[in-house]
Amino acid sequence: MSNAVAQADHHAHAHHPAQQHHFDTMPQQKEAAVLGMWVFLLTEILFFGGLFAAYMIYRVWYFEAFAEASRRLSLFWGGLNTAVLIGSSLTMAMAVRGAQTNKRTATVNWLILTMILGAVFLGVKVIEYQDKFANYEVPGATYNWMYHDERAAAAGGEHAAPAPGAAHRQLALSPGQLQRTTQIYFSLYFTMTGLHALHMIIGIGLMSVITWMAWQGKFDDQYYTPVEMSGLYWHFVDIVWIFLFPLLYLVERHQ
Amino acid sequence: MLDTLKIPGRHYLNDGHSLRSWLFTKDHKRIAIMYLMSISIMFFIGGMFAVGIRFELATPQGDFVTADTYNKFFTMHGVIMVFFFLIPSIPAVLGNFLIPPMIGAKDLAFPRINLLSLYIFWIGAAFTLYSMVVGGVDTGWTFYTPYSATASNTSVVPTAVGIFIAGFSSILTGLNFIVTIHRMRAPGMTWFRLPLFVWAHYATSLVQVLGTPVIAITLVMLGVERGLGFGIFDAARGGDPVLFQHLFWFYSHPAVYIMILPALGVQSELISTFSRKTIFGYSFVAFSSLAIAVFGFIVWAHHMFVAGISTYAAMVFSFLSFSVAIPSAVKVFNWSATLYKGSVSFDTPMLYAYGFMGLFAIGGLTGLFLATLGLDVHMHDTYFVVAHFHYIMVGGAIMGYLGGLHFWWPKMTGRMYSEFFSRVSAIMVFVGFNVTFFPQFVVGYLGMPRRYHSYPDEMQVLNVMSSAGATVLGLGYVLPVLYFLYSLRRGAVAGPNPWGASGLEWHLQSPPLTENFVEVPEVINEPYEYEHSVVKEKERV
């Protein structure tokens, strides 16, 4: 048995304080973390993938209902949030850059800015959800598709005027059909954006820990893996939104 | 040799004796031991429900429990056995313990995540056991909508939350294995020197990582429908209950491969070791694991042939389901070829390996009956299906698990168990299993539907056979608990390599050091070098 396993010649180097005992080298440790993070993001794709599959099927089946329901979302708030998130991806990338180049203060500042942008996004989401609750557009027993139009009509004046382009749209669906099938749209809307928002909240939580670590000077050009990993996560959450925005807000809104 | 064998002075089991040293350990071996204890408890809880089921079915009338209680029995049996025993069984116990030493690593790539996965498993199990205590759930382990979403008034949500949480445990284990196998191999441990056990776990991990998130999101959709009144699967609002079935089986069919693939890996180790031969067709066996993992993802709709899916889709899924037989057969034929002219011995692990081969073959071949479109209409939701999947999940996965546990027990504990009682138990499990489940093929073919607590009188003989066999099977499962526990104190000292096996893990002391290897080993041998290796004779006395 003695020659079955030869002992490799591994002499001890001066170890970086962040190197864990079961890794031989820092690059090995980093490669493991990067691969692990990408595999994790793969599971996230599959996680959201189930919802996207459901969305795709129902959108094909009930396209008109989805198009109508999509018009109930605010392009302004959705567009603003898209811009905010893309901006936060930029600040996140800057934070990683700061960590790679040993710039402690810059890293911390960029991370804080990223968290602020994330919080802005969530704040806007609260405003949007609030509007849905106020208009009985949350699926369930109280869901009322007609309420939005009725309230607009009751308000009278210019608010009663149909939305731009509405005159051209000839709906094949009765209010009863819309009442049923638009609930599927809003069920998906709340589940998808809700899970996305949950990922944002987790991301902000992660980042506050990373910010604290960065502030304490735990990172340098040899070891910035946690910053980079939370960056990957943040970009992923951003990309999910890049898909959610057109799928939910822009269903046939070119008219 | 007898006098020279001693339990080493320092090993992972005596590296700290406090509860804290176990609960906060990052050692993959200790985590594996804690998984072993956890899933054993879950196995016996799940087994109690099986006892209830077989007791009820001993008579044609529904006289032991009401129909509602019976529904909860088979649901809790399925939920606990599938999600809290079979899925973690081999990966979280044997894989966790063995993958690092097999590839020459000191630990998994993410030891803390490994411990986290155990805690997540415990939290998930707590939710599910809570729902069991407060009255159980009666939807079947499949949670089909609309019954689960609106009609059932049992604790669906706590159970679903438990499964959702336990899923993350499975994902983290798979993720850890993938990264470990990619990044932690010792110098010289090339991909094609990996033990087939590791290849099988690599394939399993891919399924865990790609499949589990889908059941998670499916349970989320079910949860928001049941809890918040959303309507994703609600036909009254235009939703499609069959979509739930698609999403459910997109995970739950591959989940069968999460259970069986690691057992196939164990099997390759056992067959090669106990026939003293290099495994026949190493690369074919390795790639057949990956092929099973890939094919496993594109056959799910064969569970839905009678659910109203399109004829053409059904034909495609039928064909693809047949194709899974090819890599499975590659394995069985390669094992047979390995045995051919081997120096075969009949130690307990090998008895399990033999049992596995026969049961897996029967389970696999009856799967082809069910993949046949016309025949499936007749057999769908009958006991034929129950018998088929128990041949795979019990006859395959649990036989593989027990075979592996008996094989590596001396490595894990440093001691041998009773050879006599372990052989008795292996034979009891094999005989008991067949007497339990073979009659179910017949009774299913005769038309007895699953999930009913009463049945026509003329089917009683077969059902009594099944219940009697289950008694033998149950005793066969209790016996190992006794002699394993006994061996911890009184078992003969095993020494590093009681089977004369060739894997890297057998070069370690038994039980291994916390850090496995004092120095990083360099691998210079091909795998399974029994013919040319210096490891020829058994070192066991």
CATH number, position B282? 1.20.210.10
DSSP B320: H
Give pLDDT tens digits for B403-446: 999 999 999 999 999 999 999 999 999 999 999 999 999 999 99
B67–chain A Cβ distance below 8 A for any pair = no
Taking the C-alpha atoms of residue B138 and residue B136, their distance in angstroms, rounded to an integer, is: 7
**Position A255 confidence tier, pLDDT thresholds 50, 70, 90:** low
Q: Does position B111 have pLDDT exceeding 90, yes or no?
A: yes
Taking the C-alpha atoms of residue B257 and residue B297, their distance in angstroms, rounded to an integer, is: 9
Taking the C-alpha atoms of residue A77 and residue A127, their distance in angstroms, rounded to an integer, is: 9
Taking the C-alpha atoms of residue B105 and residue B100, their distance in angstroms, rounded to an integer, is: 5
**Tokens read off for B52:** 């209830």
Identify whether A179 is part of a domain: yes
What 3-state class would DSSP assign to B395?
A: helix
Q: Is the distance from CB of A200 to CB of A74 less than 8 angstroms?
A: no
Give pLDDT tens digits for B41-99: 999 999 999 999 999 999 999 999 999 999 999 999 999 999 999 999 999 999 999 99
- What is the total count of domains within chain B? 1
Query: Of chain B residues 332-351, which have a CB less than 8 A from chain A?
Result: none
Q: Is the distance from CB of B400 to CB of B90 less than 8 angstroms?
A: yes
Identify whether B10 is part of a domain: no
Average of pLDDT values for A170-186? Answer: 88
**Tokens read off for B501:** 């096996």
Give pLDDT tens digits for B317-362: 999 999 999 999 999 999 999 999 999 999 999 999 999 999 999 9
Identify whether A150 is part of a domain: no
Q: Which domain holds residue B284?
A: 19-532
Average of pLDDT values for A23-35? Answer: 93
Identify whether B120 is part of a domain: yes
**Tokens read off for B93:** 């116990």
Identify whether A219 is part of a domain: yes
Give pLDDT tens digits for B471-525: 999 999 999 999 999 999 999 999 999 999 999 999 999 999 999 999 889 998 8
Give, in order, the Cα–Cα distances in Å from A227 to each of A33, A239, B482. 12, 18, 50
Identify whether B526 is part of a domain: yes
Taking the C-alpha atoms of residue B256 and residue B318, their distance in angstroms, rounded to an integer, is: 17
Identify whether A166 is part of a domain: no
DSSP B415: B
Q: Does position B531 have pLDDT exceeding 60, yes or no?
A: yes
Q: Which helix (H) or strand (E) holds B522?
A: strand B521-523
- What is the total count of domains within chain A? 1
Looking at residue A78, its amino acid is: G
Identify whether A242 is part of a domain: yes
End-to-end Cα distance, chain A: 78
Q: Which domain holds residue A214?
A: 41-145+171-249
Identify whether B11 is part of a domain: no
For A43, the closest of B186, B213, B502 (CB atoms) is: B213
The CA distance from B344 to the nearest CA of chain A, in Å, is 22
Identify whether A93 is part of a domain: yes
In this structure, the number of other CB atoms found within 10 A of the CB of residue A26 comes to: 17
Percent of chain B with pLDDT over 90: 93
Query: Of chain A residues 81-110, which have a CB less than 8 A from chain B?
Result: none
Give pLDDT tens digits for B19-42: 999 999 999 999 999 999 999 999
B1–chain A Cβ distance below 8 A for any pair = no
Please judge whether A8 and B522 are an interchain contact, meaning their C-beta atoms are less than 8 angstroms apart: yes
Please judge whether A51 and B221 are an interchain contact, meaning their C-beta atoms are less than 8 angstroms apart: yes
In this structure, the number of other CB atoms found within 10 A of the CB of residue A46 comes to: 20
Give pLDDT tens digits for B178-220: 999 999 999 999 999 999 999 999 999 999 999 999 999 999 9
Q: Does position A206 have pLDDT exceeding 90, yes or no?
A: yes
Taking the C-alpha atoms of residue A181 and residue A65, their distance in angstroms, rounded to an integer, is: 6
End-to-end Cα distance, chain B: 7
pTM for the full predicted model: 0.93
Give, in order, the Cα–Cα distances in Å from B277 to each of B52, B264, B399, B523. 44, 17, 22, 19
**What is residue A253's predicted lDDT score, i.e. its pLDDT?**
82
Q: In chain B, whose CA is at the least distance from the CA of A58?
A: B239
**What is residue A148's predicted lDDT score, i.e. its pLDDT?**
86
Identify whether B117 is part of a domain: yes
Identify whether A255 is part of a domain: no
DSSP A7: E
Residues forming a β-bridge with B521: A7
What 3-state class would DSSP assign to B449?
A: strand
The CA distance from A145 to the nearest CA of chain B, in Å, is 13
In this structure, the number of other CB atoms found within 10 A of the CB of residue A179 comes to: 16
Q: Is the distance from CB of B179 to CB of A35 less than 8 angstroms?
A: yes
Identify whether A26 is part of a domain: no
Taking the C-alpha atoms of residue B69 and residue B65, their distance in angstroms, rounded to an integer, is: 6
A239 Cβ contact partners less than 8 Å away, ≥ 6 residues apart: none
Query: At which residue do the structure tokens 């496995």 appear?
Result: B516
What 3-state class would DSSP assign to B516?
A: strand
Q: CA nearest B147: which of B225, B69, B77?
A: B225
**What is residue A156's predicted lDDT score, i.e. its pLDDT?**
66
Q: Does position B535 have pLDDT exceeding 90, yes or no?
A: no
Average of pLDDT values for A91-119? Answer: 96
Identify whether B541 is part of a domain: no
Q: Is the distance from CB of B277 to CB of B336 less than 8 angstroms?
A: no
For B238, the closest of A28, A180, A190 (CB atoms) is: A180
Q: Does position A13 have pLDDT exceeding 80, yes or no?
A: no
Identify whether B537 is part of a domain: no
Q: Does position B1 have pLDDT exceeding 60, yes or no?
A: no
Q: Is the peptide bond before A17 cis (omega within 30 degrees of 0)?
A: no
Average of pLDDT values for B375-380? Answer: 94
Average of pLDDT values for B166-175? Answer: 97
Identify whether B509 is part of a domain: yes
Percent of chain A with pLDDT over 90: 75
Q: Is the peptide bond before B439 cis (omega within 30 degrees of 0)?
A: no
Bin B104: left if φ > 0, else alpha if -120 < ψ < 50, else beta.
left
CATH of the domain at A240: 1.20.120.80
